[in-house]
Amino acid sequence: MKGVLPMLTIRNETKADREIVEEITRKAFYNLYIPGCVEHYLVHVMREHEDFIPELDFVAELNGQVIGNIMFTRAKLTDEQGNEKDILTFGPLCVAPEHQRRGYGKVLMEHAFQRAVYLGHTVIVILGSPVNYVSSGFKSCKKYNICLDNGKFPAAMMVKELKEGALDGRKWFYRYSPIMDIDEPTALEYDSGLEPMERKYLPSQDEFYIMSHSFVEDGDM
């Protein structure tokens, strides 16, 4: 990785980047979780939603070519007394397939985290594969007593404090932005209008199913 990362430039996304960002997102996620993908459609509609944060929408450029992107939206935590706390979530985070596993995604995240701190944000909650995020300081939601509305602690839900002590141990319920509730048939219809790619089964889809249906139980921590 040494000698490669210094060539990486990170900046805010512009309108001129939108098409390539959606293309990279599509290629990065296609057949990863389902046959086809919906993430590029999420990117397509997210920018117009009130919870989208343009100041935290970044692209990574390598030698002048956009190779990655990260986008943030607003989310909320609500405690058992109904008190709310504004937080962040991000996704999709993508790097073009030919540039993956070189550390670019992690550098992109760290840049975004620093900017989020500057803007006054204190907590990030995400859903994803822990192996991709624990090295960037994310921990199980169970360790911070953050659960879904049903009281469950998903194994794929992780938390990062941008400010130490931002979470005080009380029980919080996580609610992501409504923009994340993408209608899969609508997304796949949108995908059908793009350059054809083969929708097929990959073993990673079973891994995703297992992780997305797994929960941390009381006493596991």
pLDDT tens, position by position, 100-130:
999 999 999 999 999 999 999 999 999 999 9
CA-angle at 157, arms to 156 and 159, nearest 5°: 135
Instruction: Look at residue 1 in the predicted model and tell me its pLDDT.
Output: 41
Instruction: Look at residue 218 in the predicted model and tell me its pLDDT.
Output: 72
Residue reference for tokens 């706390």? 85
Name which of 176, 177, 170 is nearest 157 in CA terms.
176
By mean pLDDT, which of 6-15, 33-42, 151-160 is the weakest? 6-15
Name which of 184, 139, 157, 167 is nearest 33 in CA terms.
184
Q: Cα 107 from chain centroid?
A: 14
Instruction: Look at residue 2 in the predicted model and tell me its pLDDT.
Output: 45
Superfamily of domain 5-177+200-213: Gcn5-related N-acetyltransferase (GNAT) (3.40.630.30)
pLDDT higher than 90, residue 13: yes
pTM: 0.93
Quick: pLDDT tens for 18-39: 999 999 999 999 999 999 999 9
Q: What is the mean predicted confidence (pLDDT) over 66-73?
A: 98
Instruction: Look at residue 162 in the predicted model and tell me its pLDDT.
Output: 98
